[in-house]
Amino acid sequence: MRLAWAPVPETIATGDPLDDAGLPAPLRARLRALMDDDGSRSAAGLAAATLLNNAIQLVFVVAFTRILGASGYGSLAALVSAFLILLAVGYSLQATAARETAMDRLGSAAVLRRTLRSWTEWLLLALVASIAIAAVLRDPIAQLIGVEDHPWAAATVLPTGVLWLLLSLQRGALQGLSAYLPVGASIVGEAAGRLLIALLLVSGFGMGVGGAFIALPLSFIVMIVALEVVLLRRIGPVERTHASARSLRALTTGGRVPVLALLLLAALQNVDVIMAARELPAATAGAYAAASVAAKSVVWVAIGLGLQVLPEAARRSARGLDPLPILGRALAALLALAMPAIVVFAAAGEPLMRLGFGEELAQGADALPLLAAAMTLLAATYLTVQYLLATHHAGFLWVLAPLAVAEPLLLSLGGLGMTTFALCVLAVQAAGAAGVGMFALAARRATFAATAAPLTATAD
């Protein structure tokens, strides 16, 4: 079955950031040529959706630090952090579902629909079980997270994770079908729904920290229902006469490499802020964390681009075509979006920090351009990992794992100022991007050599 291409409409990805990036004319022309096709517009649309999600999440942070106060928002942040542990599992399931769907391994449309329904039924059973278990263990869970005053909110963390897994599977299937528009819309809708529901529960019903957190699973439920409607319209109703192509357990077992890869990337993305809190003075650590929040926006752009890289690279690889151009276009889009940000952070970092985070945290401007460059390299690493997962390579884990261990050791040497701290992070991310990039090129050469060998033997 040849799957139809469904590019994101032009209204999703408008404007040309290359003209404002300060790049030489030949490089602008090369990047524009790489990006001038439907696949790149789809990638840009998903990146824009992810960036908009990140912007709405920032509005959420600004609003609820003021509504809940410092201590209330601290409790909310602890609850959200507990949920974030499950993010890597959801992203890996999404990546696996996208790859298997794109490569037609889940069968015809009718079989795919039956398979998705089977996964949904199992996860709904898991949801009911998680609600019951968490309700009984709500007090120990609250103590473990550090939110003893909010036991029922703590009890929501595990069911929220189950809902996230279901939403991730739906998005993965739609990615594999090249249905990028509803995936992008659900990414934006999730963040917007969370903000609106939280404002309603907290301001309208006085539910405080619990209401602000419960808005997250409620927004997931809204998006799950919406994507179920999209799937119904795209591949039809469920036919019980068909057997499921693959069990959820089999899919999960096949996702061990993506889970480990995303966990390692998450460590490389976040361990510096944890180490800053331990190694730097409190005020300096706060300013560093604020700069890190601003710099990491490019990582969310990469996550959006990765939603298109993995299924398209998998599809080209399955057809015997070179998948590397898919990665090249995504990296070009990342460069076009990240370079202007790095320039702005270097030229006007202090007023931006003062405007966004206040006078007390403006000193983070010294680290901001370095961290922006570091996170751009991490974003490139993330995209390359998505490409390697699509082409069934796992050796890159031997590059990421030592760096994930080395970074906290390097940052714990002591006596580092904020700028030196950021330079260490930049060095680690540069090593990661270079190592994973070289592995990807070596894997491509090996693949072509293996393909050419039988042809040469036949000719002889």
In this predicted model, what pLDDT tens digit does every residue of 406-439 receive, in sequence order?
988 998 887 788 899 899 999 999 999 999 999 9
Q: How far apart are the first and last CA of the chain?
A: 35
The CA radius of gyration of the chain, in Å to the nearest whole number, is 22
pLDDT tens digit sequence for 199-257: 999 988 888 888 989 999 999 999 999 999 998 888 877 666 555 556 666 676 656 78
pLDDT tens digit sequence for 358-382: 676 678 788 899 999 999 999 999 9
Identify which has the larger pLDDT, 247 or 90.
90
Range of 63-67, 152-156, 265-269, 291-295 with top mean pLDDT: 152-156
Position 243 scores a pLDDT of: 55
**Mean pLDDT of all residues in 320-334:** 86
Identify which has the larger pLDDT, 118 or 427.
427
Contact 333, 254 (CB under 8 A): no
Dist CA 411 CA 273 (whole Å): 10
Q: Give the other-Cβ count within 10 Å of 254's Cβ.
A: 16
Dist CA 370 CA 367 (whole Å): 5
Domain boundaries, the chain: 47-249, 255-450
Q: How many CA atoms lie within 13 A of 454 on its CB side?
A: 4
Dist CA 280 CA 283 (whole Å): 8
